[in-house]
């Protein structure tokens, strides 16, 4: 066991902040740690837009569906899928950039955004700050594109809050589906996944009750609530309008 592992095994989303500032030196280290995370083919198809302006953070909180955890964060970092960088590189090399026109480009850009946000949050947490991943900016991607002045071939994939943890408000490590139904050896096992869901449904219900949040839905109820509709129905059209394409052919 070590400090890093302990942090990862006890990871939780932090939604309550004191309002104190994230130190500038700490923020620089956090951003550098995110940048050192790997990218496919070292394409570096990720950029960050760091929002410290409190009025803009409030605007982002609205865009993300009116989230107080965003409005009260000291810093909001938007993780941008960025093929504008590759485009600039390839113009220099006299070639046409086509990665953004492919399903591969959408998948790998999203994967790299996830890698970057996890490195960023792990760094922030190691310095004692709290974070939550904010996918809600995809509820209205065009508003984010306008706010951050994102050019063609870029896309606001997700964001992260960073703030000083309000320790007066408790946070608990949320349980997960049984590990044997998450990490399967040698091949996927549909039976384990199905039975894991049922076991977890009961466990998550008990966990919410144990922390006094009996109104919160069980796993099956929450999943049904979100995944019976397309809850962010602007993603395809805004990707297309930013110059992306979901295709296997140029």
Which of the residues 72 through 111 are near its own copies (CB under 8 A)?
77, 80, 82-86, 88-90, 92-93, 95-99, 101-108, 110-111
Tokens describing residue 75: 């810093």
The answer to whether 70 touches 134, Cβ cutoff 8 Å, is: yes
Q: Which stretch binds its own copies (CB under 8 A): 16-24, 52-60, 62-70, 206-214?
A: 52-60
> What is the C-alpha separation between 172 and 134, in angstroms, rounded?
19
Out of 114, 166, 205, 207, name the contact with its own copies by CB under 8 A: 114
Write out the binding residues for its own copies, residues 163-202 only, by CB under 8 A.
Answer: 173-174, 176-177, 179, 181-188, 190, 193-194, 196-198, 201
Q: How far is the CB of 174 from its own copies (least distance, A)?
A: 7
State the CB neighbour count (10 A cutoff) for residue 139: 17
Q: Specify the pairing of strand 129-130 against strand 46-51.
A: unpaired
Q: Which stretch binds its own copies (CB under 8 A): 64-72, 118-126, 163-171, 207-215?
A: 118-126
Cα Rg of the chain (Å, integer) = 20
Size of the site for its own copies (CB under 8 A): 130
Out of 1, 24, 212, 214, name the contact with its own copies by CB under 8 A: 1
Residue 211, SS3 per DSSP: coil
The answer to whether 75 touches 50, Cβ cutoff 8 Å, is: yes
State the CB neighbour count (10 A cutoff) for residue 54: 12
Instruction: Assess 148 for contact with its own copies (CB under 8 A).
Output: yes
The answer to whether 129 touches 27, Cβ cutoff 8 Å, is: no
> What is the C-alpha separation between 199 and 193, in angstroms, rounded?
10
The answer to whether 85 touches 45, Cβ cutoff 8 Å, is: yes
Instruction: Assess 50 for contact with its own copies (CB under 8 A).
Output: yes
Q: How far is the CB of 54 from its own copies (least distance, A)?
A: 12
Instruction: Assess 236 for contact with its own copies (CB under 8 A).
Output: yes
Instruction: Assess 209 for contact with its own copies (CB under 8 A).
Output: no
Instruction: Assess 249 for contact with its own copies (CB under 8 A).
Output: yes
Instruction: Assess 66 for contact with its own copies (CB under 8 A).
Output: no
Q: How far is the CB of 173 from its own copies (least distance, A)?
A: 7
Distances (CA, A) of 63 to 127, 136, 137: 28, 8, 6
Write out the binding residues for its own copies, residues 211-230 only, by CB under 8 A.
Answer: 219-224, 226-230
> What is the C-alpha separation between 150 and 126, in angstroms, rounded?
30
Instruction: Assess 154 for contact with its own copies (CB under 8 A).
Output: yes
Q: Which stretch binds its own copies (CB under 8 A): 16-24, 59-67, 153-161, 207-215?
A: 153-161
């Amino acid at each position: 066991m070590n400090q890093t592992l302990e942090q990862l095994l006890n990871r939780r989303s932090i939604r309550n902040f004191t309002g104190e500032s994230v130190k500038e030196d700490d923020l620089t280290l956090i951003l550098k740690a995110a940048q050192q995370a790997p990218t496919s083919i070292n394409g570096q198809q990720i950029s960050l837009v760091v929002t410290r302006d409190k009025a803009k953070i409030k605007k982002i909180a609205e865009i993300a569906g009116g989230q107080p955890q965003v409005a009260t964060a000291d810093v909001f970092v938007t993780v941008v899928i960025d093929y504008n960088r590759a485009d600039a590189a390839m113009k220099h090399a006299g070639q046409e950039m086509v990665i953004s026109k492919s399903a591969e480009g959408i998948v790998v850009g999203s994967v790299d955004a996830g890698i970057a946000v996890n490195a960023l949050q792990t760094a922030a947490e190691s310095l004692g700050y709290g974070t939550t991943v904010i996918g809600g900016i995809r509820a209205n991607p065009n508003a984010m594109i306008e706010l951050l002045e994102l050019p063609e071939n870029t896309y606001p994939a997700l964001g992260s809050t960073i703030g000083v943890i309000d320790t007066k408000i408790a946070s608990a490590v949320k349980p997960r589906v049984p590990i044997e139904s998450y990490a399967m050896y040698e091949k996927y096992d549909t039976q384990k996944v199905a039975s894991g869901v049922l076991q977890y449904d009961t466990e998550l219900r008990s966990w919410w009750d144990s922390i006094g949040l009996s109104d919160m839905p069980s796993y099956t109820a929450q999943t049904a609530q979100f995944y019976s509709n397309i809850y962010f129905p602007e993603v395809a059209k805004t990707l297309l309008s930013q110059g992306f394409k979901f295709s296997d052919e140029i």
